[in-house]
Amino acid sequence: MTAATSKLVFSNRTGSALKLAKRDVARGAAAGFAFCVVLTTGFAAMSAWQCGGVCLPETLDNAMLSLAAGLLGLGPVAAYGGRR
């Protein structure tokens, strides 16, 4: 991607580049962490229900994957979603 193309892709209606404030980053991180907690709790409960106990390695794997998905997938949506 060239500099001209990236400037075009990452510019808003007024033509200025989008900038993230600390509040936007915090909102994205909070959404990612909340997604991780909810998803990991759900998967651990489902695992305990099916197997009769919580399998710690499986729960840790699910926690790491859901944290990555939350921060990289949901975080930017939440960070830019609060802008008007």
Domain residue spans in the chain?
Answer: 19-81
Question: What pLDDT, in 10s, does the model give residues 19-57?
Answer: 778 888 888 899 999 999 999 999 999 988 988 888 888
Q: Mean pLDDT for the chain?
A: 80
Triad 28, 66, 18: Cα angle to 5°: 25
18-46 burial code (b ≥16 CB/10 A, e <16) = eeeeeebeebbeebbbebbeebbeebbee
CA dist., res. 58 & res. 51, Å (int): 12
Q: What is the pLDDT of residue 45?
A: 92
pLDDT at 12 over 60: no
pLDDT at 7 over 80: no
pLDDT at 72 over 60: yes
